[in-house]
C-alpha cells in the first residue's frame, strides 16, 4: 500500500462468474483498503441461476446492472464492467478496486488499473480462475476459502478446529523461502516477518487467506520449514530447511 491512505474503494462484481455468498467476507477484506463506497454487480439477472442476487443487493447496498445476452454463449457483463472501471479510473476518485470474478477476461483490466498505481484485489474460485488473472491482481484471494473462513468464525470456540486447509505446497514454500533470502537477516538467520511477507506479496498475488489462515504468523508457524520467534513486540522468521 502506498503512503497515501486509500479511502474510496470500488467493488465490481461479475455476477455470472461468482457467488453472492462471498459478498460479506469480501467486503470485510476490502475494508483493509478503505471505504467501499462503490458496489456494483453486473449480469443477466433474468436468468434463474442469478435469482438469488436480489436479496444480497438489498442487504449490502449493491447496485445491480442488468446486462442482456446479445448472442448465445456470450454476454455483455465483461465489457460493461471494464468500461465502468476505466471510467472510474479516469475520474480519479477511486483509490483501489476489488474484482469479483473467476473469468480470465479481466486480466487486461487488472493489469491496466495497476499500471496507474491502484491496488487491485481479485476474488474468485481458486480452482476455476486462470493463473493469468491471479497474477495480474495485487492480491488474489480464493473466495471459497473466504466463505469457509466466515463459516468457521460463526462456530462456537469450543467447536472450532485448527486453522489451515492443508494446501501448503512446495511452490508456496519456495515463494516464502525466496522472500526470506531477499530480506535483511541477522547473524542467526532471522528476518522480520513483516518484511518477508511484503517481499512475497511483491513477487506474486500471495495471500495467507488462500491457505485458511488470517495471519501470516499462523501460516509460518504451521510450516515445518520455518521457525517463528518473538522479540518484544516484533516477530522474526528463519528458514530451517
Q: Give the CATH number, domain containing residue 229.
A: 3.30.420.610
Residue 72: predicted pLDDT: 52
Which among 64, 74, 54 is positioned nearest to 12, based on CA atoms? 64
CATH classification of the domain holding 41: 3.40.50.1010
Structural domain including 204 reads 170-239
CA 110 → CA 48, 56, 105, 192, distances in Å?
29, 25, 10, 30
CA 24 → CA 15, 69, 143, 179, 235, distances in Å?
15, 28, 11, 32, 30
Domain tally for the chain? 2
Residue 83: predicted pLDDT: 94
Reduced to 3 states (helix: H, G, I; strand: E, B; else coil), residue 39 is: strand
Domain final residue, candidates 88, 121, 153? 153
Residue 133: predicted pLDDT: 93
Residues 179 and 110: their CA atoms lie apart, in Å, by 24
Residues of the chain with pLDDT under 70: 1-6, 70-75, 151-167, 203-205
Domain final residue, candidates 85, 118, 153? 153
CB atoms within 10 A of CB 171: 9
Beta bridge partners of 234: 231
Which among 161, 167, 162, 235 is positioned nearest to 206, based on CA atoms? 167
165 belongs to a structural domain: no
Same domain (yes/no): 86, 34: yes
Name the pTM for this structure.
Answer: 0.75
Domain final residue, candidates 153, 182, 217? 153
Same domain (yes/no): 144, 227: no
Same domain (yes/no): 105, 222: no
Contact 22, 46 (CB under 8 A): no
Residues 218 and 213: their CA atoms lie apart, in Å, by 6
C-alpha cell read off for 64: 445491480
Amino acid at each position: 500500500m502506498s503512503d497515501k491512505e486509500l479511502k474510496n474503494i470500488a467493488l465490481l462484481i461479475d455476477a455470472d462468474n461468482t457467488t453472492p455468498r462471498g459478498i460479506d467476507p469480501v467486503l470485510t477484506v476490502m475494508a483493509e483498503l478503505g471505504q467501499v463506497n462503490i458496489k456494483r454487480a453486473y449480469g443477466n439477472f433474468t436468468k434463474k441461476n442469478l435469482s438469488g442476487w436480489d436479496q444480497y443487493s438489498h442487504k449490502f447496498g449493491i447496485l445491480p446492472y442488468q446486462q442482456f445476452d446479445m448472442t448465445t454463449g456470450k454476454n455483455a457483463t465483461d465489457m460493461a464492467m471494464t468500461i465502468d472501471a476505466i471510467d472510474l479510473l479516469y475520474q480519479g476518485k477511486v483509490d483501489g478496486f476489488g474484482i469479483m470474478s473467476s473469468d480470465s477476461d479481466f486480466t487486461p483490466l487488472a493489469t491496466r488499473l495497476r499500471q496507474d498505481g491502484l491496488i487491485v484485489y481479485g476474488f474468485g474460485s481458486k480452482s476455476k480462475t486462470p493463473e493469468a488473472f491471479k497474477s495480474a491482481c495485487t492480491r488474489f484471494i480464493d473466495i471459497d476459502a473466504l466463505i469457509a473462513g466466515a463459516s468457521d468464525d460463526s462456530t462456537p470456540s469450543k467447536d472450532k478446529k485448527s486453522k489451515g486447509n492443508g494446501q501448503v505446497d512446495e511452490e508456496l514454500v519456495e515463494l516464502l523461502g525466496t522472500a526470506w533470502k531477499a530480506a535483511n537477516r541477522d547473524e542467526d538467520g532471522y528476518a522480520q516477518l513483516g518484511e518477508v511477507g511484503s517481499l512475497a506479496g511483491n513477487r506474486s498475488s500471495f495471500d495467507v487467506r488462500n491457505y485458511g489462515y488470517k495471519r501470516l504468523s499462523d501460516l509460518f508457524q504451521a510450516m515445518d520449514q520455518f521457525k517463528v520467534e518473538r522479540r518484544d513486540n516484533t516477530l522474526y522468521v528463519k528458514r530451517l530447511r
